[in-house]
Structure 1
Amino acid sequence: MAMAMAMAMGVENKQVLLKGYVDTIPKESDMEVKVTQTQLNPPNLKGSAAILLKNLYLSCDPYMRGRMRDFHGSYIPPFVPAQPLEGFGVSQVVDSDHPDFKAGDYVTGMTGWEQYTLVSPTRAQQLRKIHLDDDIPLSYHLGLLGMPGFTAYAGLFEVCCPKKGEYVFVSAASGAVGQLVGQLAKLHGCYVVGSAGSNHKVDLLKNKLGFDDAFNYKDDPNLTAALKRYFPQGIDIYFDNVGGDMLDAALGNMRIFGRIAACGMVSLNSLSDPQTMHNLYNLIPKRIKIQGFLQSDYLDSFPRFLEHVTTYYKQGKIVYIEDMNEGLESAPSALVGLFSGKNIGKQVIRVAHQ
């Protein structure tokens, strides 16, 4: 009886709201944490084909910065000011009127930055059920087995098409995407070097993630010369997570028929940032292919990715580094920290324990 009354009255629903659009690096003050109320058995659920989720883990990803701008020319619409931010999450179904989901199911997909999210039927179609596995942490469905992991897989194998023995460079190599790109390339028989922003991250790349070599880009003012030292034979594949000066330096060191997967441009402070490129001419004589991509372009390959990476992880051939923050109130700080390199590995927020 008491439980029924509590469900009818509602429960606390903490939310992270965007105050207004920002065109520079986001600050914690651009967001606010607000407490509202939600019902665990909403009366308007029946007949709606909607789902009520309890969010367990939320993913912090660099692309979210673009959604904080009033810019509608991207592949995903901007956030709505005064509304909760959105991102990939791992959640448990609390109540459902959708035929494909029932209470108690674990799912991953786009959800709100809040404790409870009511998902529309359209959004519900984009959720993926998670089959619990004692050998794989549930939060890994936001990283290793989620969007970042599949981004690494699709960018390397679908865009760059590596061959055994090729030379691969990965920027932001200790991040959610880069750490897996390097390990997959190594498993494929490539020589792999990564760049990162601290000596600690460089040590992780070489001694935990198995990269052949790595360097701290902050210690190398001449990035073109630095890459020449690490790749005296040149670079076959550059997996680019940062753009800017690092992309320009890589263009100056590519081999003939080199391939560049343009995954991210985290070096951009704003859309109006000047990007001076000195080595673009190399695209022509070296016949370099540079391609921007989204992981969603290759969803047909997702089952193969899931099978391969799950097997590699269980065999101990892949490790994954996760940076876990506790509590929804820590989410603004965690998101902002991405753009100063504060995180080590995949940044995740634990909202609630399963």
Structure 2
Amino acid sequence: MRVHNFSAGPAQLPLPVLERAAAELTDWRGTGMSVLEDSHRGKDFIACAAQAEAAFRRVAALPDNYRVLFLAGGATGQFSAVPANLAARGATAAFINTGQWSAKAAKEAKRQGLNVVTIADESASHYTTTPDPASLIIPADAAYLHYTPNETIGGVEFPYVPDAGDTPLVADFSSTYLSRPVDFSRFGVVYGGAQKNLGPAGLAVVLVRDDLLDRARPDVPAIWDWRTMVDKDSMLNTPPTFSVYLLGLILEWMEEQGGLATIGAANEAKARSLYEAIDASDFYANPVEPRSRSWMNIPFTLADPALDADFLAGAAREGLANLKGHRSVGGMRASLYNAMGADGVAALIDYMTEFERVHG
């Protein structure tokens, strides 16, 4: 039986995509071999990667002056690549701290020798808020402004895109990538791991505006040099071929659903229904201020934490998997990525209602 998988990542993938991949696993494109076995230098995979990029551009409505990179190392690898490509050692970079992932990105920028200026720090709220946009003052000498639009662990999401002016805006989109329409022209660099909405773990999709491609330090490793990777079509080394292949299938699936406008409306509706169930109850609670609540990752707590284990065990019996909250936060967390259907959210709400009836 397929379960409703609420994992924060690696996450549930669309069933039609998995079924197609399974059917093609031993004979891909009539080659008599799997895509897992095919050379990344061969014409079939080169065509596959080009088709995935073209589909990404269509789905994202990406402007022509942005390059699309398919890289290994996940978002964490880009924590190192961003400062190395955009700023000399000793230069200033501005950060907005809204959770553990933005804090980790800032820590790595410091390790890369940058002067990190935190222009907003939401740690005092235990990362349950986002800053007032009017409060954001970017240093005049900042090489870039970095933020995390959606914090996977805390379930905090920006209700706006920060106005960075002429300063390049850099964003870690990992857990909200292609979950709704976004005006990517407002960003200098966008990056994120694929293992939420875009495919399996092992792939980072990086978008870089053309004018930012030639700022890398002379000593940046070639594997992290965006210009080098652009010139090599993301194939300086062997790329995560299976992840790129699955990304292409998922992008086709997104187009079949009606694109990001349809997907975004469905995601908003799923999140709204779960928040309404939580807010209508005295038994469950969500800690995030309403304006900053994530559509993708919804943490919630039970009135009596002693019931957490029973809640999780009962959920597992009902086919509701991976609801345990992050170890640093506790409680529960339901991740409602693109592949999570409304039926899964409805099943979770029904279970929560029954659990409250019995234990409330």
- TM-score, reference length from structure 2: 0.32
Which has the larger share of strand? 1
- TM-score, reference length from structure 1: 0.33
Larger RCO, structures 1/2 (Cα 8 Å, 6+ apart): 2
